[in-house]
Every structure is written in structure tokens, then in C-alpha cells.
A and B are shown apart, each in its own frame.
Chain A
Amino acid sequence: MVGIPSRHKSLVLLAGVILLQVVLLAVQIKRDSQGRLIRVWTVGVISPFQRAGTQGVGSIRGIWNHYFALQNTSRDNEQLRRENDALKLQITQLQSKAAEADRLAGLLNFRKLHMEVPMVGARVIGASPGTASVTIDIDRGQRDGIKRNMGVITPDGVVGKVIEAYANTAQVLLLTDKDSGVGALLADSRTQHPVGGTGEPLLVMKYVPNDDNVNDGERVVTSGMDRIFPRDLPVGTIVEIKPGNPFKQIRVRPAANLDRLEEVIVLLTLHPLELRTESESASQQPPAANAAGQAPAARP
């Protein structure tokens, strides 16, 4: 029997492995299946490290920024310095906690204003491992009621949507991803145009005819037509308008700081939602006891 020459064995293996992966790609496209099992295993291995890393870095960063950076300022007296350092360390921890508390208070306040909407807060524990997609990982998953296609926001504005929920974590596709989009409208004229990502920090507003009046600095809010996000959530602000063919080229700066996300809110419903305005909410304050707990179930 004629064997394969040893120098060609690796070429044969290469061809086989590439063919296997091409078939894998084809199967995913044909069946709209995304190899969930492999992803669950990989995420299961990496996510505990991410969770631990995020917590560790948070503590170290707080101490580094506020303690070590200031250490050289108190050399005069060793005794005083020790006391000083101990106090600074305490302050550092308090500052770090205060900053976190501010952010959490923002989230809590948002929840209080919208008690009718079921939502859960989550901490960001990871980012995209490559440039092919713009995603983040959060430390809440199916056990917290998170499912695919749920909207993700911050009090500043829209963040993206859940594209995969695992047991304890979930993956969120950010608005800036080129496959991402949100139903939006111009806050002043109330005309509706979808907004999508390009893989870059700015978003684009699509299909705006050249004769439509759009102003630089105009706010863009959700239209609610995508049935993922409630109406009138901030999406961003228009920062660039250029005439194009056949539509204007409009760039939008996201309202939420998508480069520096630490905590987000997941809207725990797949039904269309309505958020009350702040004035409506103020006249109808919910009981404080419910504020920290999970909001009631979705009302279709």
C-alpha cells in the first residue's frame, strides 16, 4: 500500500482541518446553529477568572490610585506618615466604595423611577476577545432570568442587547458592533430612523433623506419600534452630518459611555415596554422597600 510521504502529511492534515472548519461554518449558516456547546464550555472555563479578575483589579486600582500615588507626599515624620497612610488607606477604601455607591445609586434611582419595568443590575466582567465583534460579558445569566434579545441599558442610555445567556454570565452585543442596531427617532422632529454600529466608537443614523432637516447636536432617542427597548431612552447625540447619495451620512455619539462600562441594567422582558417620564414617576413614587429587590414580572 502506498503511504503518504511524511512531508506531505502535515499538508493533508491542514487541508482536512480547514475543510472541517469550512463545513462547521456552513452548518452554522445553514441551520442558524451557533455551536452552543463549545461556547458554553469555553465561557465556563474563562468566566470564573474574569469574575475574580474584575473584583481583584477593582480593589487594587482603588488602592493604587489613591494610596501609592500619594505615598511620597508624607515623608517628614515616620510616625505621622504611618498614621497618615493608615488614614489614607481608609479614605481610599471609602472613596472607592463611594464611587461605586454613586454608580449603584444611579442605577437604583433609575430602577426606582421605573419600578414597573422588570430589570436587574449586572457588573461587566469581560470584553470582546478580538476585533470581529464588539461585545461585553456580564456577571448575570439565565439564573437571574436573562435571555437572548433582552435590552441592556445604563441610566445614561442604550448599551446593546443580550446575544447569549449562559447559566451565570451573559454576552451583550454593544450598539457599536456592526451587526447591532436600534429603532430610534430624532428627539425634536420625532422622525424615525434606525441607528446602527460600524465597529467604530460612533454610531450611524441610517436612511435620512437629504431634504430632511437634521441639526448638529440633536438628541436621538429610542423609538420603541424594535420591541426591545422602551420608547424615549437616550441613544446618543448627532455629532456629524454630511450630504450623501441617496441618504445623509449622520454620525451619532452614544449616550452611554460604551468604552467604560462597569455596571449595566438588563431589561428582563421580551415584551414591548413603556418607561414613564421622570415627572410621571415623581408623582407616583413606588414604595422604598421594593427598590432594592427585583422588580415585578413583565406585563405584556
Chain B
Amino acid sequence: MNKSLEDAPIIAIVDDDASVRRSLLRVVRSAGYNAEIFASAREFLDWLPRNRAACIVLDVQMSEMSGFDLQERLAVPIIFITAHDDAPTLERIEKSGAAGHLRKPFDAPTVLRAIRQAVQVNHDRIDGGPRLESAK
């Protein structure tokens, strides 16, 4: 992992809850990552063309466009976060091929562990993975 902040991979945090967003930003930054926060999928999509994210921490239940809807458009490793799970949501997450799934409430070590793993997998995939169009 690169310790220089400019080169450090950007972790995108997409959650419509301001409070959660801000706390995750602090956690991720304190662990030495670059991080960007977005209040909606739309905001993230606006940002995406000029940037690249190493991993997205993505809230599933958002108004307008859900985490699932966003995921369909991306090839970045995604860590889904959910505030509650019903059976269909769980099933969908399982089938989504997401890098991780965290249930709220989760603590900082949990999310950091998931991010580390996702970034690592992503890194491995970049070497030989055909799937990641937008992360090139």
C-alpha cells in the first residue's frame, strides 16, 4: 500500500446518510486511504468519468438509485453496506459478486478489513482481470 496520499487508491463512499458518510470518511482517511464521499449514486456517477476508485463502499438502500442499480454500471469492487436485510436483498447481494457485504452497525476495523481485502482483490484482478473496464 502506498503511503503517499496522492498516489493512495481512492475509496469512494456512497451513502445517503450524512452522518454515516462522514464517519466512514474519517475511518478510511485515518487508515491512510484517499477517500471521497457521495450522497447519492448520481453524485458518484458525475464524479466517476474524471476519476478512478479502487473500491466503493456502497449503501444499498438509497432513494432515487439504489446501490444495486449503481453496481450494474460499474466494474469496481464494491462493498455493500445495508442497514437492514430482507431475504431478497441478501440473495441479490450474494449473486452480485460484490467484494464484501457489511451490515450496519459495523465498526471501523470491520470496514477497514473489508476495504483492504477488496483493494487487494482488485489489484490482483487488474493484473489479469478482464472485467474491470472503468478501473483501467
B is bound to A: no
Q: Give chain A's interface residues, CB within 8 Å of chain B.
A: none
Q: Give chain B's interface residues, CB within 8 Å of chain A.
A: none
